[in-house]
Amino acid sequence: MIGRGSKLFRHGTRRPRNHPADVVDGLEHMNGLDGTIRGISAVISRVLRPGPVKDALHGVPIGHPAHPSLTDVPMGCWMSAAVLDLTPGGERAARTLVTAGLVGALPTALTGWTDWSALHRGQQRVGLVHAAATGAASALYAASLVARRQGRTAVGRMLGFAGLSLLLSGGYLGGHLAFRLAAGANHADKLAHLVSLGWHDLCKLDELPEGWPVQRRLGYISLFVLRQGEEVHVLADRCAHLGGPLHQGRIVSDENAESCVVCPWHGSTFRVDDGAVVHGPATSRQPAFHTRISEEGMVQVQPVP
């Protein structure tokens, strides 16, 4: 029997938000930001066309997103400047660090906006607030540098501490994007951990259409399968960028006339032979399988280590 002082928890009852991540979750549903998002996305699409520059900003050449690593420069410089501002005789070094942070903020912002333009809408809403906070922090640090150079050290320090508070808030939102919303993480199935060693029967060769990608399953794993003559190419079907279905993508040729698949969600392009990234926003290789055809015409697959 439940006493009068007991609390009832009914299905569907809203529970109180217990930590900041729960509050930030609400940003994903702020559709009032969508007009601004569409406008900024259109500008980025016009200015930043697909190609080597955009791939470099995504981080394709280094194999993972460039933006998270670059954030260490302004954040490290500005947090160090705050420590020096509390230390007697540290003004000159603090001014140098504020300057270095502003220099590092430019490539950090460029890579951030590039990645942001290829996210899902809920992620973009959080990302927009993250960008607003870090952009405002940069503006405050720029004002702080001007004040310091004019000899108004106390004002420069106050502006710096105000910028630091916004920087930490923006950094928290960036962590929320990366770890809670998995923006920038590899979304492809980890085949080496999910598929046992050895060869596995997949399907009959004559069941596969010529030159048209299809989806097949190996146990509970979804696979992209493309037949080209007597060759069969098999990749993990979940795009490494944000999990898009590769079997619904277009088949194109790269500059070396090798066949590639373009993810239908955000345009990541992978070579079908080995899953290598040809164009971003994906930066992680798409897991691939070795294939062979048995004497009975069965397509057999083995994950590439």
Give φ, ψ of 21 to 5 degrees. -60, -35
* Contact status, residue 143 vs residue 157, Cβ threshold 8 Å: no
Is the domain of 137 the same as that of 277? no
Is residue 174 over pLDDT 60? Answer: yes
Stretch 163-188: mean pLDDT, rounded? 94
CA distances (Å), 43 to each of 49, 50, 107, 116, 124, in order?
A: 11, 14, 18, 13, 15
Output 247-250 pairs: Cβ under 8 A, ≥24 positions apart. Answer: 247/213, 247/214, 247/215, 248/213, 249/213
Using CA atoms, how far apart are residues 176 and 114, in angstroms rounded to an integer?
18
pLDDT band at 196 (very low <50, low <70, confident <90, very high): confident
Least confident of 156-160, 193-197, 203-207, 279-283: 193-197
Stretch 212-237: mean pLDDT, rounded? 94
Is the domain of 34 the same as that of 169? yes
Is the domain of 232 the same as that of 141? no
Is residue 233 over pLDDT 90? Answer: yes
pLDDT the model gives residue 13: 47
Its pTM stands at: 0.86
**6 in a domain, yes or no?**
no
Neighbour count for residue 141 (Cβ, 10 Å): 28
Is the domain of 284 the same as that of 217? yes
Is the domain of 50 the same as that of 82? yes
pLDDT the model gives residue 190: 79
pLDDT the model gives residue 198: 86
Domain span including residue 261: 191-303
pLDDT in tens, 7-54: 444 444 454 556 777 778 889 999 999 999 999 999 999 999 999 999
Last residue of a domain, one of 129, 160, 180: 180
Is residue 280 over pLDDT 80? Answer: yes
Is the domain of 118 the same as that of 69? yes
Is the domain of 144 the same as that of 244? no
Is the domain of 109 the same as that of 175? yes
| CATH number, position 209 | 2.102.10.10
Is the domain of 171 the same as that of 30? yes
Is the domain of 172 the same as that of 219? no
**3 in a domain, yes or no?**
no
pLDDT the model gives residue 21: 75
pLDDT in tens, 48-80: 999 999 999 999 999 999 999 999 999 999 999
pLDDT the model gives residue 19: 72
**50 in a domain, yes or no?**
yes
Is residue 229 over pLDDT 80? Answer: yes
- How many domains in the chain? 2
Mean pLDDT (the chain, rounded): 91
